[in-house]
Amino acid sequence: MIFGGAMAILEGIAAIAKDDLFVATRHYVFQFSLAGWGWVHLILGIVIVLAGCAVLTGALWARYFGVAVAGLGAIANFLWVPYYPLWAMALVAVNIFIVWALCTGMHREAHEGSAA
């Protein structure tokens, strides 16, 4: 989670700085300015990093929060596809993997607790 959040933070900083790396598209349903998308990714990335640090503490609420925030990250990066497709799809995959890992961990802990 910390890695995915850090990548979203870098993505947000690059978009806010109006880097020439991104392509501004026209006629897109979710049409925000590049700086607006940058702020979305920067704030979401910071929240994902904080959630990743909370997951390292082992708290159950942190796992639920991590699943929710990683899901939002996947949606935000899916909407980011027209601006930078390869980066966006890579981060969608990372966020989906995070959701899977957090949910699988909760499932295993539930089975271990009932077996004892």
- Apex CA 50: angle with CA 77 and CA 75, to 5°? 15
Quickly state the pLDDT bin for 33 (edges 50, 70, 90): confident
> What was the pLDDT predicted at 108?
60
Residue count of the chain, please give it.
116
> What was the pLDDT predicted at 105?
73
- CA separation for the pair 31, 90 (Å, rounded): 21
Tens-digit pLDDT profile for residues 77-105: 998 888 788 888 999 999 999 999 999 87
> What was the pLDDT predicted at 89?
94
- CA dihedral (37, 78, 44, 3) positive or negative: negative
